[in-house]
């Protein structure tokens, strides 16, 4: 999933669920849900309205942990960008970028660290906290308080933690199973292929299935692209078909276009087929799920972005 920055609203039997980290399959009492090598936050105990969810949730021992100071730093970095450049990235301030920075710098801490030698974990946690305090002098971290909380979380999640690679291997090679991988964030938010720097910090295109789950490429079967009948975006960044007018307002209000995680209004515009084709180039969709077509019911005329011009000439690629 890449962290708890992406929100999924799922409605089942008239009941609405807002997911930030859980795979939406957690609603299905017959399905096992697996949080893999991406991110784990300890909001797991706030679940309401679902029975026995902890019996059907598995967490990979390799999942990186997002700490409270990662979230605080995320906010401080946004303030810095605004002050220095006059603009920010528009992150959800959930600590995702800083956690991926820790991961890439090889100073990150994972679930396996939390559940093994807690003294060693504490020492590394303190070192990481001090690194961030030296970079951000205004940052306040209650180190001992955090460690006390983390020790409590460790015992609560211990029964759910498994070796993630072996779990997936067994799922793929054992008795036949239906395996559905749910991605969060849109293709244009991919760290490598998205509208950089206005992206998330993970690979949310289909390659994330292999790198995030340890699934070999030959096991990737059907790839379903999910696309609205119009285009939306949360936060700043390029948006050629955006409608900053009554059309955009109508799509926003009729489509209930609010960011589940941030509460921010989504920017709305006509469907951009150039982006959709680009997403297909990278992901190789075998099918498309078109959603929210009914939101356009009240419009007499519907427009679609079909091509981009660069220097006055039509181009066949997404620039």
For residue 197, whether the previous peptide bond is cis, meaning omega lies within 30 degrees of 0, is yes
Residues 141 and 133 sit within 8 Å (Cβ to Cβ): yes
108 contacts: CB under 8 Å, gap ≥ 6: 64, 65, 99, 102, 128
Alpha helices (H) along the chain: 68-85, 96-104, 111-115, 118-135, 143-157, 164-173, 207-213, 246-254, 273-283
Residues 276 and 285 sit within 8 Å (Cβ to Cβ): no
Task: Mark whether 103 is an active-site residue.
Answer: yes
Q: Which residue in the list 39, 93, 94, 103 is annotated as catalytic?
A: 103
Q: Token pair of 136, please? A: 């951000």
Secondary structure string (H, E, C) spanning 65-131: ECCHHHHHHHHHHHHHHHHHHCCCCCCCCCCHHHHHHHHHCCCCCEHHHHHCCHHHHHHHHHHHHHH
| β-pair partners for 47 | none
**CA triplet 136, 140, 141: central angle to 5 degrees?**
110
Active site residues: 103
């Amino acid at each position: 999933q890449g962290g708890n920055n992406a929100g999924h609203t799922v409605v089942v039997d008239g009941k609405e669920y807002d997911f930030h980290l859980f795979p939406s399959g957690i609603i299905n009492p017959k399905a096992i849900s697996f949080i893999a090598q991406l991110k784990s936050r300890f909001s797991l105990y706030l679940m309401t309205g679902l029975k026995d969810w902890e019996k059907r949730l598995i967490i990979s021992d390799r999942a990186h942990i997002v700490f409270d100071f990662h979230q605080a730093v995320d906010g401080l970095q946004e303030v810095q960008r605004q002050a220095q450049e006059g603009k920010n990235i528009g992150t959800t301030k959930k600590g995702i970028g800083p956690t991926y920075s820790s991961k890439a710098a090889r100073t990150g801490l994972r679930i396996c660290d939390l559940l093994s030698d807690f003294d060693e974990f504490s020492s590394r946690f303190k070192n990481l906290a001090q690194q961030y305090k030296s970079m951000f002098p205004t940052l306040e971290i209650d180190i001992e308080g955090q460690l006390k909380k983390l020790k409590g979380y460790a015992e609560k999640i211990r029964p759910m933690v498994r070796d993630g690679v072996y779990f997936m291997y067994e799922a793929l090679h054992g008795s036949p199973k239906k395996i559905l991988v749910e991605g969060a964030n849109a293709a244009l938010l991919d760290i490598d292929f998205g509208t950089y720097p206005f992206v998330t910090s993970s690979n949310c295109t289909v390659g994330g299935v292999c790198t995030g789950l340890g699934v070999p490429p030959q096991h990737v079967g059907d790839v379903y692209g999910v696309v609205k009948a119009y285009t939306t975006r949360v936060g700043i960044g390029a948006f050629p078909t955006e409608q900053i007018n009554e059309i955009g307002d109508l799509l926003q209000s009729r489509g209930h276009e609010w960011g589940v995680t941030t509460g921010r209004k989504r920017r709305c515009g006509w469907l951009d087929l150039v982006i959709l084709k680009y997403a297909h180039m990278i992901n190789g969709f075998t099918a498309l799920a078109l959603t929210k077509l009914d939101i356009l019911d009240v419009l007499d005329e519907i427009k679609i972005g079909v091509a981009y011009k660069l220097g006055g000439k039509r181009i066949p690629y997404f620039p």
